[in-house]
Amino acid sequence: MRVMYVAAEAVPYAKTGGLGDVAGSLPRALAEEGLEIILVMPRYYVVDRARYGLKALPLVLSVPMGSLGVLSCGVYEGTLPKSEVKVYFIEHEHFYGRESLYLNEWGQGYLDNDVRYVFLSRAALELCKAIGFVPDVVHANDWHTGAIPLFLNTHYYHDPHFQNTASVFTIHNMQYQGNFYPGLIEILGVGWHHFHMHDLMHEEQVNLLKAGLVHAHALNTVSRGYAREIMLPHYGYGLDGVLRERFRDFFGILNGIDHEEWNPERDPYLPATFSAQDLSGKAVCKRFLQKKMNLPQRDVPLIGVIARLVDQKGVDVIAEALFRLLDFDIQMVLLGTGESWAETFFTQVSLSRPHRFQARIGYSEELAHQIEAGCDFFLMPSRFEPCGLNQLYSLRYGTLPIVRGTGGLKDTVENCQEEKGTGTGFVFYDLTADALINTVAWALRIYREKPELYQAMQKRAMQQDYSWRRSAKKYIKLYRYALRKKGVKLSRQGRK
């Protein structure tokens, strides 16, 4: 089976969150299952051509952009590390020659994000034709590439190149929808008859997420829990009805994690390594982290937070609870960037309670690994969470997650049951400071008064298998489903 996977970011080249992790590791896992897969993304400035040995292809793509006319771009080619997956980077200085992926210096989305990502969507399809890649499936991700299923159903519907091509669309986040002014219809070039409530229109605007939801042959999101939630108004951000209409074609497939990249037994960022059998190195990591963060090197429970500081992650609830939490004998470290009120607030608390709380405002892969390894607990009180990767990294590093039971968090963290001696973390449901504080207090009690249970939970957490293999197999099933839906005949073995 041949697949083109298109995303706005992918590790190791460019990442702002979990989408980057997934786009950089799922294609590799699919290739290991025998698929021929290519990855397509923009060539932002942060994508270092020399470092990754990218080569410019000897071609210029002509990309029809409706009322903007036909625009041209270049293409770089590389290979995804530790794999044979070819990666194609769409090179357009005006659209992608920027340091930050999505946001301007004031933290607002670039005003031309609509055109930038419609361009990516169309360029990816033109690329297939230019390099002679005939995909069985085009797999688009999030609103940035929502126009791809639409284009396959319109401009390319009669194109022989895509006659047997089905589309799959993955929702990584229902909150970010790519909602733009109606005139975008002219740039999409699909005609105004697509501007109605059963198609691209949402709240009188053109909604690119909805384009993907309406037009793809198969849909999924990144956990079963979140799949159920976003069919309800509370979590659906206005598009729950669209998903309810398509519920037969809509699935939940849990993300995996890159077991090589996040491996406590072989993590180059750590001062000592450790495993479920021998946790002694974790204590070294904890002391190292305390020192690095200017916290006293005491034997005290250490709680970590790594997050984009936005409402999704419940950082407002952490902020509300923080002073009461710091009345416990604990230490906390926080790493993140995001809304300016949160950056300021957490920096101030670091100054006023430096022996208990330290925040680092910024982005650091290295510190993220050290926090996952060095902490005793990881706090993630998300308002909603499609999958969440940090709690999966925490499990793997024996750092017990304390999470709100929503979406992927609920699906992956097994709540502590004291009487049975089971669980891999601590789960609460009400999104309130009180619920958060009570649950932290419970976790602290287990840590202090029932160390055997705490250690048993650590071992159980570290033994969970969230590698990509299982999920990759489910994506292959989803691809077959999409092909059947399109009406493409599969060969006897069910494989194309």
The answer to whether 318 contacts ligand ADP (rule: CB under 6 A) is no
The greatest distance separating any two alpha carbons of the chain, rounded to the nearest whole angstrom, comes to 69
For ligand ADP, what does the binding mask look like between residues 320 and 339, x meaning CB under 6 A? ---------------xxx--
Tokens of 454: 């705490």
Q: Which does 264 bind (CB under 5 to 8 A by kind): ligand GLC, ligand ADP, none?
A: none
Burial class (CB in 10 A: 0-12, 13-18, 19+), 65: middle
Considering the complex, state which of residue 126 and residue 411 has its C-beta at the smaller distance from ligand ADP.
411
- Residue 285 lies near ligand GLC (rule: CB under 6 A): no
| Shortest Å distance, C-beta 22 to ligand GLC | 5
Minimum distance from CB of 220 to ligand GLC (Å)?
A: 10
Q: How far is the CB of 21 from ligand GLC (least distance, A)?
A: 6
Q: What backbone phi and psi angles, to 5 degrees, belong to 332?
A: -135, 140
Q: What is the dihedral of CA 451, 453, 454, 457, to 10 degrees?
A: 160
Long-range contacts of 290-296 (CB under 8 A, 24+ apart): 290/331, 290/374, 292/367, 292/370, 293/333, 293/358, 293/360, 294/354, 294/358, 295/331, 295/333, 295/355, 295/356, 295/358, 296/331, 296/355
Please identify, among the stretches 225-233, 236-244, 306-314, 464-472, the one whose residues bind ligand ADP according to the rule CB under 6 A: 306-314
List, in sequence order, the alpha helices (H) in 163-279. Answer: 184-188, 208-215, 224-229, 233-236, 240-245
As measured in angstroms, the least distance from the Cβ of 408 to ligand ADP is 8
CB 310, min distance to ligand ADP, A: 8
225 binds ligand GLC (CB under 6 A): no
Measured at the CA of 237, the angle between CA 236 and CA 238, to 5 degrees, comes to 90
Helix %, strand %, coil % of the chain (to 5): 40, 20, 40
Residue 363 interacts with which of ligand ADP, ligand GLC, none, CB < 5 to 8 Å by class:
ligand ADP
Q: How far is the CB of 47 from ligand GLC (least distance, A)?
A: 20
- List Cβ neighbours of 105 (8 Å cut-off, separation of 6 or more): none
Applying CB under 6 A, does 368 fall inside the site for ligand ADP?
Answer: yes
Q: Does 443 bind ligand GLC (CB under 6 A)?
A: no
Q: Is 22 in the site for ligand GLC (CB under 6 A)?
A: yes
Pick the closest to residue 6 from 124, 127, 162, 150 (CA basis). 124
Q: Which two tokens stand for residue 226?
A: 């979140």
The window from 122-130, 229-237, 362-370, 449-457 that contacts ligand ADP (CB under 6 A) reads 362-370
401 vs 408 by CB, closer to ligand GLC: 408
- Give the interface with ligand GLC as residue ranges (CB under 6 A): 17-19, 22, 172-173, 222, 255, 385-389, 408
- Give the interface with ligand ADP as residue ranges (CB under 6 A): 17-18, 21, 306-308, 335-337, 363-365, 368, 387-390
